[in-house]
């Protein structure tokens, strides 16, 4: 199975920024890199949609995965909300063939990260809508929540998030 790992945002688009100044794009890339390194140890192949702090339009991200013939698209993000008490992990999908992978990924993330299960939701994000393969968008934790921002900034937590994503990919691939 070929997995496209998409570190959301990047370059001129930092994504959400926590109260402590942590940029979502930096967390997403760190987690994607961990997942990529760990996936190389499995039977699955993977590629990073972005491997540095660059801006790539969202439609182009999906098109890259389609062109490379990916079997699974995983978009990595941090959630944000005006209500700074919002917390937890959730996943999104668009096409019906992505609902089960989104559920499997959410279960792996909740088990691996120990955060509140916010459920699986359908959404028409461009990267989910334009991909030809099953696609999941994972919201690891809330960067707008002071406690979860501290977790997201921690390299150990970032590694755990990468491990959880790989566990999700392995379960999806079985």
DSSP for residue 39: H
End-to-end CA distance of the chain: 10
CA dihedral 27, 127, 113, 119 (to 10 degrees): 140
Looking at every residue in the chain, the average pLDDT score rounds to: 98
User: What pLDDT score was predicted for residue 56?
Assistant: 98
pTM here is 0.98
CATH of the domain at 160: 3.40.630.40
CA distances 59 to 43, 62, 79, 107, 128, Å, are 28, 5, 20, 27, 10
Total number of domains constituting the chain: 1
pLDDT score, position 106: 98
Which pLDDT does position 174 carry in this prediction? 87
pLDDT tens per residue across span 67-99: 999 999 999 999 999 999 999 999 999 999 999
Whole-number Cα distances in Å, 24 to 55, 130, 144, 158: 13, 23, 10, 12
The domain containing residue 158 runs over which residues? Answer: 2-173
* Spatial contact of 99 and 161, defined as CB atoms under 8 Å apart: no
How many CB atoms lie under 10 A from the CB of residue 84? 16
Query: What local confidence, expressed as pLDDT, does residue 168 receive?
Result: 98
- Mind listing the pLDDT tens digit for each residue in 92-141? 999 999 999 999 999 999 999 999 999 999 999 999 999 999 999 999 99
Given a cut of 90, whether residue 145 has pLDDT beyond it is yes
DSSP-derived 3-state class of residue 166: helix
Strands (E), the chain: 2-7, 45-48, 72-79, 89-93, 117-122, 135-142
Strand partners of residue 89: 117
pLDDT tens for each residue of 31-66: 999 999 999 999 999 999 999 999 999 999 999 999
How much of the chain, in percent, has pLDDT values that exceed 70? 100
Band of pLDDT at residue 6, cut at 50, 70 and 90: very high
């Amino acid at each position: 199975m070929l997995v496209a790992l998409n570190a959301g945002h990047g370059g001129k688009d930092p994504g959400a920024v926590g109260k402590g100044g942590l940029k979502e794009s930096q967390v997403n890339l760190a987690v994607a890199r961990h997942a990529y390194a760990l996936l190389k140890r499995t039977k699955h192949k993977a590629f990073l949609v972005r491997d540095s702090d660059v801006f790539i339009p969202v439609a182009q991200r999906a098109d890259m995965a389609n062109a490379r013939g990916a079997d699974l698209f995983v978009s990595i993000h941090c959630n944000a909300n005006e209500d700074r008490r919002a917390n937890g992990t959730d996943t999104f999908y668009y096409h019906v063939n992505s609902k089960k992978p989104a559920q499997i990924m959410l279960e792996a993330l909740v088990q691996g990260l120990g955060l509140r299960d916010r459920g699986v939701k359908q959404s028409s994000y461009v990267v989910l809508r334009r991909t030809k393969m099953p696609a999941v968008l994972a919201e690891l934790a809330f960067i707008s929540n002071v406690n979860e921002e501290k977790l997201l900034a921690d390299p150990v937590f970032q590694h755990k998030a990468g491990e959880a994503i790989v566990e999700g990919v392995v379960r999806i691939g079985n």
